[in-house]
Amino acid sequence: MPTDLQVGDELPSVTRTMTRDWIMRHDLALLSCRVDQRLGEKDVVNIHTSQEFARRNALPAPVPDGMVTGNWISSLMLLHFGHAYARGGTLDVKFIKPTFEGDELTVRARLAERVAESGATRLRFDVWCERPEGQVVTTGDASVLLTHD
């Protein structure tokens, strides 16, 4: 766990490819949380899963749910901080550009500040996902609380 980071330091990034499998698994996982537990065709045919439905709604292709990239950012924080992030971490993201199947995205985090908090240190990061040419698709803030035990 990196504890000696200075403001401006970046965590080692992770690059992932948005695959059809990621898109479908995430969409079906969200649908499985429905209160009534009943799924019909209209539930699984949407802008996230159907080429035809996406085109009818002025999209060139299905658009993965934005939470996929949000989850990838959370995974980066878990990778580097483990239980400290799971216990005392925060994440606030905005989805600013659509992503599509086949997109290669790099998940990044840069330390923005270190703040003393209740006998511990909170590290706040600027976080984002970007395409290879640098276009940001998801942006936000994440933090982790490091205790001094």
Q: What is the largest CA-CA distance in the chain?
A: 56
Same domain, 45 and 5: no
Same domain, 124 and 89: yes
- Evaluate whether 130 touches 77 at the Cβ level (below 8 Å): no
Which pLDDT tens digit goes with each residue over 41-58?
Answer: 555 677 777 788 888 988
Same domain, 92 and 118: yes
Same domain, 45 and 77: no
Same domain, 45 and 111: no
pLDDT at res. 107: 98
Rounded-to-integer distance, Cα 89 and Cα 21, Å: 28
> Whole-model pTM?
0.83
Same domain, 55 and 117: no
Q: Which amino acid, one-letter code, is at 72?
A: W
Same domain, 90 and 145: yes
Domain housing 32: 20-63
pLDDT at res. 47: 75
Q: Which stretches of the chain score pLDDT less than 50? A: 35
Domain count across the chain: 2
Sequence-ordered alpha helix ranges (H) in the chain = 20-31, 41-44, 51-56, 67-88
Same domain, 109 and 133: yes
Q: Which of 124, 119, 115 is nearest to 144 (CA)?
A: 124
pLDDT at res. 93: 97
pLDDT at res. 43: 57
Whose tokens are 């209160």? That residue is: 35
Same domain, 48 and 72: no
Same domain, 56 and 76: no
pLDDT at res. 28: 65
Sequence-ordered alpha helix ranges (H) in 3-100 = 20-31, 41-44, 51-56, 67-88
Which pLDDT tens digit goes with each residue over 89-113?
Answer: 999 999 999 998 889 999 999 999 9
Q: In this structure, what CATH number is given to the domain that contains residue 141? A: 3.10.129.10
Same domain, 69 and 45: no
